[in-house]
Chain A
Amino acid sequence: MIGEYFSMAIRNLLRRRLRSWLTILGILIGITAIVSLISVSQGMKATITKQFEKLGYDKVIIFPGKGMEDMMAGLTSLSEHDLKLVRTVPGVDLATGLIYKIGKVEYNNDMEYTWVVGIDPESGKKIVEDIQAYEIDKGRDLRKGDKYKTILGYYFGTKDIFDRVIKPKDKIKIEGKEFEVIGLLKKIGNREDDSTIYIPFDIAKELFEEGDKLGAIYVKVKNGFETEKVAEKIKETLRRDRKQEIGEEDFSVQTTREILESFSSILAIIQGVIVGIAAISLLVGGIGIMNTMYTSVLERIREIGVMKAIGAKNLDISLMFLIESGLLGLVGGGFGVVTGVALAKIVEQAVAKSGVLGTEMLKAHFSPYLIISVLAFSFFVGMISGLFPAIKAAKQNPVDALRYE
C-alpha cells in the first residue's frame, strides 16, 4: 500500500515538474552547503589528527606566555636555565631548546623574510624531527659541529620562493651571513612549515643575539611515564623556580594531546557555526516545500474529496501528501550530496593549487555515515515541512471537497 502511495507521489511531483524542481533546488542548496562544509572540516580534522599521531602522544611542548601564539609573536620568557630544570624532571627522556625567529633570507639578489629555526643537532634533534615532522629529501641532515650550514623547507627547492631552484651546496645569506645549503626537506603539507629554514642552535643564538633566551622547549617523555603527569611535574618545577602562583605563569606547558584537543575544539566551533548557517538555508528550503505542498493541497481538494468518497481515510490522505513532501526533501538531499561532494572536491583542488595550506591539510572526508544521515535528514525535513499541509489535506470535509471548483 505504501508502495502505491510512493508511486502516486512520484507521479504527482512529475505532473508539476518545474515547481517540483524549484522546490527541490531550495533543499539542494542547503544540503550542498552542509555536505561540503562538513566533509571539508572532517577532512581537516582527520589530517590534523593523523599528523599528531605521527608525532606521537609522548611529547610535551613548553611555550613562552600563553602558548603557540605568543611564541610566534616573539615573546621569550624561556631560557636555557629552564631547559636545564626541565631535564631534571623525572620522566623526561629528552629535552631540547629551540630558537624561532623571522629572518631575512637572500639568494641570487632576491630577498624574503621567513621563519628561521635554530635546532640543536645534539640535544634532541630526534624530538624536533618528530614535532616538526621533517624528513630530508635531498642532501644530508645537520650534524654536531656544523656551523654556517642550513636545511631548507620544501618550497626553497621549487621556484615558489625565489626565482631559481635551490640545490644542496648552493650558498644563501641569512641575516647577512653566508650559509651553505646542505639539505632540502620533503613536503610537510603546510605553507608555513614548508618555507621554514633550519640552522644550528649555537649559530642562531649568535645571529639573533638571543643570549640564553629560548623560543620553545620540546620534551620527549620516557617510555612507561604518563605524558600528562610529566607535563604537570614540569609545570610545577618551573612555577616553583619562578616563585609564581597557579594561574600566574608566564609560560605554558602543553602535551601534544592537549594541542590536538584545542585544535579540535576550535574546529568544532567553526564547524558548528558553519553548519548553523547552512541549516538556515535548509530551513528556507523547508519553507519552500511547505509552500509547494499547500498549493498542491489547494489544487487537489476535489481529488481529496473523491479519494475520501471511495474509501480513503484521513491517515491515507495525509500519508500521500507526507510521502510527496518527503520525496521532495529526499531528492533535494540526494542531488545536494552529489553537488556537495563535488563542491568539496573543487575546494580541495583549489586550495591545493593555491598552496595556501598544502595538499595534506585539506582532503575532504566523506563518511558513509554523513551521507546516509544527510539523506535521512533531508527526507525528514521534507516530511516535517509537509506536515501541516498534509493535516490540512486530511481534514477536508468530503462534501465540501467534492463541491470545490
Chain B
Amino acid sequence: MDPKLTEVNQMFARFKAALARNDLNTCEILLSQLKVQLTKFPSLPPLFQQTPNAVEELKLARDIYEHAVVLSVKLEDQDAFERDFCQLKPYYMDTCGIIPPSPEEYPILGLNLLRLLVQNRIAEFHTELELLPVKALEHPCIKHAVEFEQSFMEGAYNRVLSARQAVPHETYVYFMDLLAKTIRDEIAGCSEKGYDSLSISDAKQMLMFNSDQELHQYITEEHPEWEIKNGFVFFQKAKESQPCKEIPSLQLINQTLSYARELERIV
C-alpha cells in the first residue's frame, strides 16, 4: 500500500477516535492537517487522474469530508459546514462511475437542504432539490426536508414543530433548533397581522414559551410596539392602506409624456 495513503489513514483513525470521544479541538486540528494531506492525491477532484490507488483515495477523501461536515454541525459552525459540503459535493456528483455511492450521501444532502431552509435560501434549496433523482426523494432524510419546506410555505407551523420531534438523523437536531427560532419569528409576524389581540396564555402557547416571563422578554426585545394590557396582548396594527386622496401628479405627468413620445414615434 502506498505510504502516503497509510499515513492519511492513520491520521483519519486518530480523528475518528477524537470525534468519538467528543474532543472537538483535537478534531479540528487533525482535520486541517488531513485536508492538507488530501491535496497531495492527484486522483481527487478536480484533477481526477487515473492512478492505481484512485478508488481508495477517493473513498478515503469522501469519508473525511463527510466527517468534516458532521464535525462542523457539532461545532455549530455554519460557514464551515458550507465549505466542507462544497468540497464533498463533487464526490457525490462526479464520481458515480468510479466508487460506489456512500451510505451517508442522503443524510448529508438532507442536512444541507435543511441548512438552506434555516438560512432562508429557498432558491438554492430548490436548485439542490432538482439535482436529486426520484428515488432520493423517497429517502426519509430528504423527504423530511422537503415536507418541512412545504409546511413552512403553507404556514402549517404545527406540522413543522411535530416534524422536529421526529428527526431522522442525530445531526439534524442542531438545525431543527435553529429552525424553531425562525418559526417563532414567523408566527409572531403572522399573528401581528392576523389578530387584533390575543390573551397572554394563548400567545404564550402559540409562540412556544414556557412562562409569561419569557413571553414578556421576547416582546420587549423583538416587538416593542406590542402592548400588554388586562391579560391581553394587543398588536398595534400598521395603518391600513388608506384610499388614495392625493393624485400622484408627478408620476402621472411622466407617464403621459412618455405615452405621447412613444405615440409620436408610431404615427
Q: Decide whether A and B assemble into one complex.
A: no
B binding-site residues for A, Cβ under 8 Å? none
